[in-house]
Amino acid sequence: MNQIFITGAAGFIGSSLVDRLLGDGKTVVGWDNFSTGQRPFLTGALKNPSFKLVEGDNLDLPALTRAMKGCDFVFHLAANADVRFGTDHPDRDLQQNTIATYNVLEAMRANGIKRLGFSSTGSTYGESAVIPTPEDAPFPIQTSLYGASKVAGECLIQAYCEGFGFEGYIFRFVSILGERYTHGHVFDFYKQLLGHPDHLRVLGDGSQRKSYLYIQDCLSAMLHVTTKNLAAKAKHRVEIFNLGTAEFCQVNDSIGWICEALAINPRRDYTGGNRGWIGDNPFIFLDTKKIRSTGWASQLTIREGILRTLTWLQANPWVLENR
Ligand SMILES: NC(=O)c1ccc[n+]([C@@H]2O[C@H](COP(=O)([O-])OP(=O)(O)OC[C@H]3O[C@@H](n4cnc5c(N)ncnc54)[C@H](O)[C@@H]3O)[C@@H](O)[C@H]2O)c1
């Protein structure tokens, strides 16, 4: 990797990856339309001469193609990352996650770039009958438009690997936590509790079991695998990795840790049922044996990741206003 192109470079995960790669001495081109990206996340990067920011939209293929010129690796992270509101606007996931991924692949093809890392999701497994869920679980039934659009993106990448000799790394993340976290349950709970520390609205019954991974552990896994060139040796030139910790917790556990750290004891108002929204999976726990067999291991537990997230949100109140 000499010059790396990152879509979604101003987002939670993308901006963290920008800083990590610049810290490793790489040259990075960041691409973002700032739909959910945050300019302050790139303040440090913009002072680095090895970083260039190009503002643009993945749906603008000519501009995307121009911006990628000279790069030799693409991390495609830009997406509509919110699974919850899919049924409110059914074409958003299709456009932002599937068509956008096609555009990224076409822009790469036009520039002769063949190596790609893609942020997919554990949501692609729907409600798997196999738990912990391995990468080769039976082909899943989709339960969200977000998951469906990401599966479609994965499939396009696989076909480009086979058809055009691309080298693809597909990462199916559990929920990611940590510094620069701008969406998800810790954000929602903390924002609510700032407004009314005596009660908390919880979607579902709080018994949902979820798995989380700390942002720096997530980045370490992605960089560890891509620098080993594993996909270049794979039969179809594509490797899929679940990224998560070897544990899960209940939403209620998480609420307990957050409230303990804030020294409050709010009344919990559950909306009921074992799902928070359409497409919510009551039990997400991915089998991470494959990524761990490459020598990667997570450093933080889920509880530690949640507490670091909370500490960062407390120190960065501006982010609560910006979303
Ligand atoms: N955060 C998680 O827990 C999680 C879990 C699973 C998968 N993912 C995936 O990881 C990736 C990054 O997620 P995140 O949490 O950093 O989200 P984010 O919303 O913080 O970042 C997404 C970034 O992409 C940009 N973007 C969106 N549409 C764009 C477009 N059409 N053109 C250019 N830029 C565009 C946004 O402005 C934003 O900066 C996404 O693909 C998401 O689906 C995230």
Pairing of strands 267-270, 238-243: unpaired
Identify the pLDDT of residue 323. Answer: 67
Contact 6 CB / ligand 1 (< 6 Å): no
Report the candidate in 42, 30, 7 with the shortest Cα–Cα distance to residue 180.
42
Contact 58 CB / ligand 1 (< 6 Å): yes
Identify the pLDDT of residue 211. Answer: 97
**Pairwise CA distance, residues 183 & 61, whole Å:** 28
Hey, what are 323's tokens?
A: 């979303």
Contact 121 CB / ligand 1 (< 6 Å): yes
3-state helix vs strand vs coil in the chain, percent to 5: 45, 20, 40
**Pairwise CA distance, residues 79 & 145, whole Å:** 13
Identify the pLDDT of residue 292. Answer: 97
Looking at the domain that runs over 3-176+212-243, which CATH code has it been given?
Answer: 3.40.50.720
Report the candidate in 281, 140, 279, 286 with the shortest Cα–Cα distance to residue 207.
281
Residues of the chain with CATH 3.40.50.720: 3-176+212-243
Report the candidate in 20, 22, 72 with the shortest Cα–Cα distance to residue 47.
22
Contact 83 CB / ligand 1 (< 6 Å): no
**Pairwise CA distance, residues 150 & 123, whole Å:** 8
CA-CA-CA-CA torsion sign (41, 46, 49, 55):
positive
Q: Which atom of ligand 1 is nearest to the CA of 118?
A: 41
Hey, what are 46's tokens?
A: 């913009």
Task: Encode pLDDT of 220-235 as tens digits.
Answer: 999 999 999 889 999 9
Report the candidate in 194, 9, 40, 283 with the shortest Cα–Cα distance to residue 186.
194
Identify the pLDDT of residue 322. Answer: 73
Q: Which atom of ligand 1 is nearest to the CA of 120?
A: 7
CA-CA-CA-CA torsion sign (6, 7, 8, 13):
negative
Contact 222 CB / ligand 1 (< 6 Å): no
Contact 79 CB / ligand 1 (< 6 Å): yes
Separation of CA 44 and ligand 1 centre (Å):
20
Separation of CA 264 and ligand 1 centre (Å):
32
CB atoms within 10 A of CB 193: 18
**Pairwise CA distance, residues 45 & 252, whole Å:** 37
CB atoms within 10 A of CB 299: 11
Q: What is the pTM of this model?
A: 0.97
- Ligand 1 pocket mutation, candidates 12, 31, 309, criterion most atoms within 8 A of CB: 12
The string of DSSP letters for 131-167 reads SSBPTTPSPPPP-SHHHHHHHHHHHHHHHHHHHH--E
Check if the beta carbon of residue 134 is closer than 8 Å to that of residue 289.
yes
Task: Encode pLDDT of 126-154 as tens digits.
Answer: 999 999 999 999 999 999 999 999 999 99
- Ligand 1 pocket mutation, candidates 176, 181, 222, 245, criterion most atoms within 8 A of CB: 176
Instruction: Show the low-confidence residues of the chain (pLDDT under 70).
Output: 323
Contact 81 CB / ligand 1 (< 6 Å): yes
What architecture is domain 179-210+247-322?
Answer: Alpha-Beta Complex (3.90)
The pLDDT > 70 percentage for the chain reads 100
Residue nearest to atom 10 of ligand 1 (CA): 119
- Ligand 1 pocket mutation, candidates 16, 20, 29, 36, criterion most atoms within 8 A of CB: 36
Separation of CA 263 and ligand 1 centre (Å):
32
Q: Which atom of ligand 1 is nearest to the CA of 96?
A: 31
- Ligand 1 pocket mutation, candidates 77, 89, 170, criterion most atoms within 8 A of CB: 77
Residues of the chain with CATH 3.90.25.10: 179-210+247-322
